[in-house]
């Protein structure tokens, strides 16, 4: 069995054992438990790691009790001290290792290493039963008497036989954690002694029933006692997840319909382990194992490609159907758009399932490679990198599919109409107040979070005039600082006037537009408001700007020559002069590059709510502080050997940091009284995200690469030692029913839409945002985006965070044309926005409904019935005439009578059909024609034909 490097061994090896002193702390609510990583609640305490240690660590109630059990009881110390395999000496106080092992592994270590020999045997002697029964009755009587409970008679409690049956059914296994225990008679203390515990506290009543009892080891019983429901549930969930092996975790995360397509982790592990137990690992074993692993990788990769092709085809089908609905008003009913909306939701769930499938299999292969290298001492993980490059699982991106779905979803939400406004304009960006919050998202949850946001906000397409490519989401920024890290220190301390200067570009490395950006905290020239301003240069001008050969005066002169307004030129001059002054006085040089792929969500022309999600966040060194030449010359502003080829295998390991999580940022305008929508609050409070206030990309990258040079470090570094994954909350996020139907927060899509509509009736918010001046308050943020292009006319448009390059005539067409997208008749919506390449996919609350449902008056149904009855009256009259002709006429009359009978029957069937169709349309509030355009005309025509036939037969 794999041996564990247990974090408590250093503590147990110490010559003396100390009872952990507990002391109260005033700010304990702002701290996290060192063991389980959760925020401390009431009843939590702080512990000292030793008598000589001045460092304190917070413990929650459950962790505190478990420490007390194992370190204060003499028999527990004896068991631990005599059984643990002690490692090399370490300093006392190294309790929690970097790998994140916690108290739960202490129990796992004791149980799995068989330090306590467990016998699946229950003592059957009468003495044990009497002792247990008497103890239980005595305990419950005392508690009931304290609460003045009348039901305290012994006959109300379980009998000895019931207790024995409960013990036997448990098979010496804890009902909560699954840990094996030991039945011990008498009062002998033992951490794994099994006891009978109450599922809910006795004081709540009803606990004397056998159904409210469960088997649990003594240690867990003590931790569980007096816990609040929420604390106990969280503690036990952490216990289950922390002691679970990866094979078990993999089985729990398997999506049942795709079970056969997952990596055969157990088979790979069996082959790896069984061969070594049988004989020494040979070259033949190595080759066969590589072939087996390669086959599993190919199986997974081929399945992903097949599913992506299937998803692609389904999206194209939905696109063609939606275009047909939009071109045919008679078919463009609310019900049909609702059907397409549900179809797109089903596709979105499949994308989410496929993303999780990819992630789970990638982790499984990494785990098995790690076990191989550890057990065989052969470094296969590095040698296998080439195969992972050929069939990448870590580079599978689903952004293209999500954006496809978002574009169609937005049309369905608006019942065939596109969201009004420009997708990239975002309204007036000169000044606005906003509340910003930042969160970390575990890779397991990235696609699910994107899908949830997309159901309420469309993906923001910055430039709809060009085909969207995966590289369009790439953002690269080079941050500048000096060798003393003055900008880092002032930003971390949030000093007045602190700056952050970066050069940013969007898309591939050969992008020619470089944005010179400066963020100032509480700028003096804006009366203490924080500001972010920038202007644009060409790539070949950046070095000249850095070394001051391209001066602000030269920039201003060229802009005036291009015909730009003087006020704008003055502002550009002010920004350029301030940035160059910082370069000159603070001796700034390139330090860290930050790269990430951004997916933005926002309603067009609506700045009230904007959400961005940055994934694949990577930090790369750009400096020469260690005398290593990374840039072509010290005067150049960036490295040329690094592009956007994540995960940047060409960069040396010491020069790169791949951030383990994605970063979610929400920006909510507060000066308009905007409150976070309910769905966003539900998301941010769910298990899918982990809040990290004031997280900064530059501060994090600098603190990693230059830690020995920095006096202060960001507070969130300790959060990286905590597993931010939380137990999955019930009815939160994207799930499936037992029949695999999509559920959103535990509800079907249709139910969620109806609930949203009910909320919309209560409160109507204007779509047009009001904007305020630049000098507003200390929380105002000004964004100035100005371009400097001497060779061309000045262009105020931006590729990101600004207006797309739309000619004036296009703007007028957008405002007046009833069609949501230009040239849709000749060009597919998605073909216009995206490049239809399979390789691209492999690499990778909206506007309210136009019509609000209203109550249908009963007279509408009565009118439909009266119309139907009128048609039946005519049929009855025609049928009477036909019967008279049949019964009392000659041969010619009988022929005419037969024609009228057929005609009468046809009219009756047609009238019934129209009646049922109108009733169906009224029930579903479908917008369409309720009058009968062709029925009366056809009826008159048939009657005329019948009369002509009658006259012809009579007078021929």
What stretches of 201-264 show up as alpha helix (H) in DSSP?
218-224, 229-242, 246-253
Pairing status of strand 529-538 against strand 780-787:
parallel
DSSP calls for 186-219: TT---TTBEEEEESS-GGGS-TTSGGGEEEEEHH
Count how many Cα atoms sit within 13 Å of the Cα of residue 479 in the half-sphere of its side chain. 25
Please give the structure tokens belonging to residue 553.
Answer: 């005066």
Contact 782, 386 (CB under 8 A): no
Contact 630, 639 (CB under 8 A): yes
Q: How far apart are CA 480 and CA 518, in angstroms?
A: 10
The residues facing 786 across adjacent strands are 535
Residue 913, Cβ neighbours under 10 Å: how many? 11
Selection from 258, 182, 188 nearest residue 216 by Cα: 182
Contacts of 460 (CB under 8 A, 6+ apart): 423, 424, 600, 601, 602, 604
Selection from 141, 208, 213 nearest residue 170 by Cα: 213
Q: Is 765 helix (H, G, I), strand (E, B) or coil?
A: coil
Contact 321, 830 (CB under 8 A): no
Q: In Å, how far are 268, 552, 644 from 562, measured between CA atoms?
A: 67, 15, 34
Q: Round to the nearest angstrom and report the end-to-end CA distance of the chain.
A: 107
Q: Is 52 helix (H, G, I), strand (E, B) or coil?
A: coil
What stretches of 802-934 show up as alpha helix (H) in DSSP?
808-816, 829-833, 838-842, 858-888, 891-923
DSSP calls for 907-943: HHHHHHHHHHHHHHHHHTT--S--S-SSHHHHHHHHH
Q: What is the DSSP letter of 173?
A: B
Rg (alpha carbons) of the chain, rounded to whole number: 36
Q: Which of 697, 726, 798, 832 is catalytic?
A: 697
Contact 847, 411 (CB under 8 A): no
Q: Residues for the chain: how many in total?
A: 956
Number of helical H runs and strand E runs in the chain: 29, 18
697 catalytically annotated: yes
Contact 389, 301 (CB under 8 A): no
Contact 25, 44 (CB under 8 A): no
Cβ-in-10-Å burial (0-12, 13-18, 19+) of 373 comes to: middle
What stretches of 455-587 show up as alpha helix (H) in DSSP?
486-493, 542-546, 552-561, 566-586
Q: Which residue, chain included where needed, has tokens 């020494």? A: 280
Burial 166-193 (b: 16+ CB within 10 A, else e): bbeebebbbbbbebbbbbbeeeeebbbb
Q: Which residue, chain included where needed, has tokens 């930003």? A: 491
Selection from 268, 156, 151, 283 nearest residue 210 by Cα: 156
Cβ-in-10-Å burial (0-12, 13-18, 19+) of 97 comes to: middle
Selection from 448, 847, 408 nearest residue 613 by Cα: 448
Q: How far apart are CA 184 and CA 179, in angstroms?
A: 16
Q: How far apart are CA 893 and CA 877, in angstroms?
A: 17
DSSP calls for 106-124: HHHHHHHTTSS--------
Residues that are catalytic = 697
């Amino acid at each position: 069995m794999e041996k564990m490097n247990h974090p408590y061994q250093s503590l147990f090896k110490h010559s003396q054992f100390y009872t952990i002193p507990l002391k109260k702390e005033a700010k304990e609510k702002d701290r996290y438990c060192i063991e389980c990583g959760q925020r401390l609640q009431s009843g939590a305490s702080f512990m000292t790691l030793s008598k000589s240690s001045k460092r304190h660590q917070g413990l929650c109630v459950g962790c505190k009790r478990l420490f007390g059990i194992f370190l204060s009881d003499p028999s527990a110390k004896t068991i631990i001290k005599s059984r643990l395999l002690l490692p090399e000496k370490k300093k006392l106080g190294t309790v929690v290792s970097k790998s994140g092992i916690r108290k739960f592994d202490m129990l796992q270590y004791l149980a799995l290493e068989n330090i306590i020999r467990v016998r699946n045997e229950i003592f059957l002697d009468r003495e044990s039963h009497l002792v247990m029964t008497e103890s239980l009755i005595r305990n419950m009587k005392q508690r009931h008497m304290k609460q003045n409970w009348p039901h305290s008679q012994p006959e109300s409690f379980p009998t000895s036989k019931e207790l024995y049956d409960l013990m036997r059914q448990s098979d010496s296994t804890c009902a909560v954690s699954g840990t094996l225990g030991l039945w011990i008679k008498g009062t002998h203390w033992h951490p794994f002694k099994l006891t009978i515990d109450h599922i809910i506290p006795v004081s709540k009543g009803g606990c004397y029933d056998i159904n409210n009892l469960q088997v649990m080891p003594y240690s867990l019983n003590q931790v569980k006692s007096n816990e609040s429901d929420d604390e106990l549930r969280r503690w036990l969930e952490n216990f289950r997840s922390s002691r679970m092996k990866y094979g078990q975790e993999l089985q729990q995360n398997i999506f049942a319909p795709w079970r056969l397509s997952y990596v055969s982790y157990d088979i790979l592990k069996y082959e790896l382990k069984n061969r070594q137990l049988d004989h020494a690992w040979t070259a033949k074993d190595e080759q066969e194992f590589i072939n087996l692993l390669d086959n599993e990788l190919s199986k997974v990769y081929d399945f992903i490609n097949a599913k992506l092709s299937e998803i692609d085809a389904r999206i194209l089908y939905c696109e063609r159907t939606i275009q047909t609905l939009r071109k045919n008003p008679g078919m463009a009913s609310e019900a049909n758009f609702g059907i397409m909306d549900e179809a797109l939701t089903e596709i979105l769930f499949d994308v989410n399932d496929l993303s999780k499938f990819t992630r789970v299999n990638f982790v499984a292969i990494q785990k098995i490679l790690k076990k191989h290298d550890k057990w065989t001492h052969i470094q296969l993980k590095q040698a296998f990198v080439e195969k992972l490059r050929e069939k990448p699982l870590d580079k599978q991106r689903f952004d293209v599919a999500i954006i496809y779905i978002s574009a169609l979803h937005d049309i369905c939400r608006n019942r065939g109409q596109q969201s009004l406004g420009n997708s990239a304009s975002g309204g007036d960006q000169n000044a606005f107040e906003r509340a910003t919050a930042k969160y970390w998202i575990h890779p397991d949850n990235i696609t699910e979070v994107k899908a949830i946001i997309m159901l309420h906000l469309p993906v923001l397409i910055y430039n709809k005039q060009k085909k969207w490519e995966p590289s369009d989401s790439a953002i690269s920024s080079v941050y500048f600082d000096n060798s003393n890290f003055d900008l880092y220190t002032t930003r971390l301390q949030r000093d007045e006037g602190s700056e952050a200067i970066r050069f940013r570009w969007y898309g591939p490395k050969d992008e020619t537009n470089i944005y010179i950006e400066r963020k100032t905290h509480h700028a003096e020239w804006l009366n203490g408001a924080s500001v972010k301003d920038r202007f644009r240069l060409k790539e070949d001008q950046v070095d000249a700007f850095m070394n001051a050969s391209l001066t602000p005066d030269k920039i201003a002169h060229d802009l005036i020559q291009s015909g730009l307004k003087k006020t704008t030129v003055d502002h550009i001059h002010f920004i350029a002069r301030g940035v160059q002054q910082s370069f000159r006085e603070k001796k700034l040089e390139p330090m860290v590059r930050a790269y990430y792929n951004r997916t933005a969500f926002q309603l067009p022309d609506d700045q009230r709510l904007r959400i961005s999600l940055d994934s694949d966040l990577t930090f790369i060194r750009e400096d020469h502080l260690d005398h290593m030449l990374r840039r072509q010359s010290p005067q150049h502003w960036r490295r040329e050997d690094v592009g956007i080829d994540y995960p940047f295998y060409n960069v040396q390991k010491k020069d790169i940091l791949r951030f383990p999580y994605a970063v979610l940022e929400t920006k909510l305008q507060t000066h308009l009284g905007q409150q976070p929508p309910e769905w966003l609050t539900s998301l941010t409070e769910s298990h899918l995200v982990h809040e990290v206030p004031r997280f900064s990309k530059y501060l994090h990258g600098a603190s990693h690469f230059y830690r020995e040079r920095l006096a202060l470090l960001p507070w969130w570094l300790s959060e990286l030692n905590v597993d931010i994954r939380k137990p999955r909350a019930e009815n939160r996020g994207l799930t499936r029913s037992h029949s695999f139907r999509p559920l959103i927060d535990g509800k079907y899509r249709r139910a969620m839409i109806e609930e949203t509509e009910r909320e919309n009736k209560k409160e109507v918010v204007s779509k047009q945002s009001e904007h305020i001046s630049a000098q507003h308050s200390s929380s105002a943020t000004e964004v100035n985006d100005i371009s400097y292009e001497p060779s061309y006319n000045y262009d105020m448009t931006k590729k990101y965070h600004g207006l797309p390059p739309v000619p004036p005539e296009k703007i007028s067409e957008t405002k007046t044309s009833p069609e949501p997208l230009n040239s849709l008749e000749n060009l597919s919506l998605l073909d216009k926005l995206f490049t239809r390449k399979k390789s691209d996919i492999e690499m990778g609350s909206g506007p309210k409904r136009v019509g609000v449902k209203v109550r249908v008056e009963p007279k509408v149904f009565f009118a439909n019935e009266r119309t139907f009855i009128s048609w039946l009256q005519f049929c009855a009259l025609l049928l009477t005439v036909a019967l008279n002709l049949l019964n009392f006429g000659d041969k010619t009359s009988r022929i005419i009578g037969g024609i009228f009978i057929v005609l009468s029957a046809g009219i009756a069937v047609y009238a019934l059909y129209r009646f049922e169709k109108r009733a169906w349309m009224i029930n579903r509030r479908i917008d369409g024609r309720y009058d009968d355009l062709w029925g009366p005309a056809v009826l008159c025509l048939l009657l005329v034909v019948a009369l002509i036939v009658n006259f012809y037969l009579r007078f021929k």
